[in-house]
Amino acid sequence: AEKRQIQELAFTFTQNEVAPHMQKWDAEHIFPVEMFTKAAALGFGAIYCKEEHGGSGLSRLDASLIFEAIATGCVTSSAYLSIHNMCAWMIDSTGTEEQRAKWLPQLAPMSRLASYCLTEPGSGSDAAALKTTAKSDGNYYVLNGSKAFISGAGATDLYLVMCRTGADGPKGISCVMVEKDTPGLSFGKIERKLGWNAQPTREVVFENCRVPKSNRLGPEGSGFGLAMRGLNGGRVNIASCSLGAAHASLLAAREYMAVRKQFGKQLAEFQALQFQLAEMAAQLVSSRLLVRQAAQSLDSGDPGAPAVCALAKLHATEQCFDVCNRALQLFGGYGYLLDFPVQQYLRDSRVNCILEGTNQVMRMLVARDIIGRLGDA
């Protein structure tokens, strides 16, 4: 009952504050900061952070419900909200008491926004090969390098940067928090994208950027592990956003089929199209169940959670994108027009098969888990 109330709260908020503006935000490339502060007032800014410093103290399953609901109104906004939550959790789970006390009271109400910086122009799927360096200089690190495809870049206030403080490989990577106005931090041009137009995506550049060592999260060399733990939850979150896109697209197709007529009959009367709806529903529900299982796996501390999260992300993002594509087909030519939102759900959900680890990498992770279990009874 409690989770249903959380879900209903998120859907009501989406219907009132998100869905009516989705197409305008996309068309005019508006980053809806005011909406985020309203969402944070409901506890959506630090959903699974502890309550001590302003977090909501909810579960990963609760977060999945919330992100799916908000994505029915705007996939892009829900996706950024999920990234902000991931950053807040990384600080809450790894930061010192001083770091938590400083940042969480600002991130939870979303009075300050956060971005996650892992990908580089030369290291995407091979994240452990990142080149951005953080050289020790007394009580400071001096950062040089760049990060690519950073959501919210330039409009957000805090950047969680994975950088090399040691030797090559994952054990030489640390996580450092960089504030927006730090000298030596700059941003590239806003990228022109197929979707996700309601949030800016830019390169983040570091040129002799001096950051206090007190801004490091966890011990030196622990950054790659922290980044991967963050991505486990991020994969559930982004899969939840795909659920929202598919959910909204399925409902839109159902409503369109009830009013559109061809050959003297409503589209809903054609059995072939009824079968399409049934198959879309099967894709959505199977994806939803797998995503919820992955969220519960994280909540329970299951050691097998990374593989379950990868499997959920792989299945849900691909199946839900197909639901959006099928829905557009059911709209016929109208589905291709910008006046109808189904095309935006398709555009905004396509990148979910790429980010938080490409689906090719998800296949690798799942396959390794299966092979590793071959000797199990």
For residues 123 and 147, the answer to whether their CB atoms sit within 8 Å is: no
Task: Give the side-chain half-sphere CA count within 13 A for 179.
Answer: 15
Neighbours of 186 (CB within 10 A): 15
Residue type at 79? Answer: A
Which tokens belong to 205?
């550049």
Q: Are 249 and 330 in contact (CB under 8 A)?
A: no
**Contact (CB, 8 A) for 212 and 263:** no
Contact status, residue 141 vs residue 182, Cβ threshold 8 Å: no
Query: Which residues, at least 6 apart from 153, have a Cβ–Cβ distance to it below 8 Å?
Result: 115, 159, 187, 200, 201, 202, 203, 204
Residues involved in catalysis: 356
Residue 206 CB burial class (10 angstroms; 0-12, 13-18, ≥19):
buried
